[in-house]
Structures are given as structure tokens and as C-alpha cells.
Copies of this chain bind each other. A is one copy, B any other.
């Protein structure tokens, strides 16, 4: 394993899976996981960071294995009570999960940065690898659709991604978080986890200076395609790609990553798309990218890290 640390960029469930795999192989000193916060939202006065929580819960072994997000065995009594009070409580906050949001909100209100809060929560849950918000400032992912400009959670949860998107916009240009800046400077490799490029990776790249630094990064940059056989493993990535005018395939993913990525790891099901990916200047690599078991996650992480080692050696 290389000595310079790996920087992994992640969104929610898919990203958390590969992050878990990476954390099984790399030490906390060898890995920094930078997580999208463009989906963060305030619900009922609580600061909710869905992607940070998904990564944190996954790495702590507390995640709900059925959904990939939320906490295993969680219930929704508080949320039901909010509905009883006539509150639009469509986000469905879990009860245990609310413990996280209460603590996060309390510390933020006490003046902690989101980075500091995340480090504290992770420490308490036994997560040893650094999980870092992309920024301590606020970026709001807005989906501009045929039903108007929608905050991400409105689009994603309340409207179940049904509106037709024509554009995605990131409001706010705070600096990347200190640990993200440090990781960008010190990284030996950059890994784009198989998260939604448009909704999870793009907000990270939208931060001032980040895309430029990654574009001029000299080490290996490896993305794992979240599109397998023309479909997203979960979430709206495929629907969105089509609506935004991309080819709904790993080749479309390659076209999106052009200039900021060297290698695209695509699923075995997409073997036939290698040339199409190569046409966008990315080296196509084939692996099993569908992560169901923890072994799947570790295997894909190992494959990605081997590619990073090769890339570093060339």
C-alpha cells in the first residue's frame, strides 16, 4: 500500500459502501473520506446531514442494513407525533437518528464547526477513520425542474424524484473544510466512490478551488461508476442523467468525469462499453461493482486501491 493517504469522495449509500471497504484495508492515517453536505437540511430546527450520517452509521456498523441509510432497528415515534401536530413531517426522522441530530444541532449552536461536530460524533460511535464534511459552510443543492427550483430533499424525499430535472445548482460557495484542503494537498490518490455524480460528487467539486486542484492533481484519480447496465443501483442517478442529456451508461459517467479522472471502474455487466469509456480519455477497468455483502465492499475497495497503486507507479 502506498504511503500517501487516499482521499475518497463520497455521497450517501453507495459511497458509504465503498468507504467501508476502504476502511477495512487502510488505516485511519491512510484514508480521508470527504462527504457531500449539499443535501443537508434543517427539519423542525434540527440540522440533518444525511450523507455524513450514512457514512458514519455505515462505518460504525450501526446502519440499517435494509435501507443503507438510517440506524438499524430505528422507529419513528417522534416523527408520528410531529405529524399529529399537523407538521409536514415527510422526511421521516428516526428516533435514534434524532439523537444524532439533536447532538449535532446543539454543538453547532454552541459554535462548533460541522467538521468538529462530525469528528466528535464519529469518535463517540467508534469510527476511527476521518469522516470529513466537504465544507463547514452551507451549500444548498437545488434541483431545477419542471415543477420549479426545488431544495434537494424536497425533490428527493418529498417528491420522490418525480419532477423532470433540467439543471442542478449549488447555492453557496464556502471554502472546503480544513481537513478536505489538507487531504487534497497530501493525497496520493483520489477515489470517487460510486455515488451520484450530479448530486453527490458535483457539490464537492463546486467548492472554490476543488475542481481545479483535482484537475491538476498528479496522482491516480479513480471513479467507480454508479451506473450498471444502464441503471442506477439505487436512487435517481439514471433518471437524472437522461434528463440532463447524458448517455445513461458508464460511458455517460465517463464523459461527466472527463478531465478530473483517469480510470473508471465499471461493472462486469458493462464490459462492452470499454471503448466508449476510453473514448472520453478514461482508462476503463472492469470489476464487480455491485456491493451487497461486506466482502463485496472490501473486494471492490481492494481492486480500486490496486488500480491506484498501478496508477501511482506509471
Contact = CB atoms under 8 A, between A and B. Distances in A.
A103 interface: yes
Contact of A45 (B79, B85, B106): B106
A100 B78 CA distance: 8
A64 interface: no
A77 B79 CA distance: 13
Contacts of A100: 81, 85
Contacts of A109: 45
Interface of A: 44-46, 71, 74-75, 77-82, 84-87, 94-100, 102-103, 105-106, 109, 120-121, 124-125
A48 to B, nearest CB: 12
A85 B46 CA distance: 16
Nearest to A60: B84
A230 to B, nearest CB: 40
Contact of A99 (B45, B77, B120, B125): B77
Contacts of A125: 84-85
A77 B105 contact: no
A106 B77 CA distance: 18
Most chain B Cβ neighbours within 10 Å, of A79, A85, A105: A85
B106 A44 contact: yes
Given A77-B77, A81-B99, A95-B98, 15 more contacts: A44-B103, A44-B106, A45-B45, A46-B102, A75-B77, A77-B95, A77-B96, A81-B100, A82-B99, A82-B102, A84-B124, A84-B125, A85-B99, A95-B95, A98-B98
Contacts of A84: 99, 124-125
B85 A124 contact: yes
Given A85-B121, A85-B124, A124-B85, A80 B99 contact: yes
Given A45-B45, A86-B124, A124-B86, A81 B96 contact: yes
A10 to B, nearest CB: 22
7 contacts: A44-B102, A44-B106, A78-B98, A78-B99, A79-B99, A80-B96, A82-B99
